Amino acid sequence: MDLQHAEEEFEKYLDGYDRDNDKVKLKIIHTYGVVKCSRKIAEGLKLSEEDCKLAQVIGLLHDIGRFEQLKRYDSFEPGTMDHASFGVQILFEEGMIRRFVKEDTWDEIIRTAIARHSDYSLDTKEKIEDERQLLHAKIIRDADKLDNCRVKLEDSIETMLGVSAEEVGSSTISPEIMGQFEARTSILSETRKTKMDYWMSYLAYFFDINFKVTYELIAENRYVDKLVARIPYGNPDTAKEMERVKKELNEYVSWRSQA
């Protein structure tokens, strides 16, 4: 597993994009963030060096479909394209995977992990029977969410949501979204109506973390408190609800990180 070669080829691939574009820049930084988080999780699970590097390569390639989505639609909205499926198509059906990984030894693991990394849940489609494929599908999902915490804290709210942070905090949380949160599930993207619904979906993905080590990293970085505090809640009802959200999420993360 030649991680250095994969990273060198990825840098060449990025030369086809405008690196100064805010959305492209966001995705580049996120990609390398996921690579780093994948390594942390794999090491925390005490995996072999091969599996640690494999997790990093999957992190490097997991969002390759996003770059094409930006090129075509200048959008991250799920309605424009299934970026995971498209990533699998360009890597495996069009053969681009050989540009990054010369051997085909790990193809099915990489294909499965990328194909399933943005599913609502790993239980919503066909069950992954192969244990190593399932392991890496879980690692990339956790690493993606873990770096997304950093993304939501560091990047422009306007770039992510198309409006200012103040506009997000002045909106309300839809009852259906709060119901999903109270059921401790991820938010179905098609049920989001307001900008606060979108922000809630970024918090509810803590309910879909696979590993204790990931919860430990979430707790260590105080991501719940920081994410909740990122938005100024001008709507008093929203402000009150978010205090409850913060309390319940912190209790949940604490429980999962100690279990």
Distances 167 to 23, 36, 170 between C-alpha atoms, Å: 20, 32, 5
pLDDT at position 65 = 87
Please report the pLDDT score of residue 80 as a whole number.
Answer: 64
Within the chain, all domains assigned CATH 1.10.3210 are found at 1-155
> Any idea which of 77-91, 115-129, 147-161, 234-248 has the lowest mean pLDDT?
77-91
Label each residue of 146-177 as H, E or C. Answer: HHHHHHHHHCCHHHHHCCCHHHHHHCCCCHHH
Looking at CATH, the fold of the domain delimited by 1-155 is given as Hypothetical protein af1432 (1.10.3210)
Q: How far apart are CA 152 and CA 228, in angstroms?
A: 10
Residue 255: per-residue pLDDT: 96
119 pLDDT exceeds 90?
A: no
CB atoms within 10 A of CB 108: 13
Return all residues near 107 (Cβ < 8 A) that are at least 6 apart: 92, 97, 101
Q: CA 70: distance to chain centroid? A: 17
Q: What is the pTM of this model?
A: 0.90
Residue pLDDT, tens place only, 206-230: 999 999 999 999 999 999 999 999 9
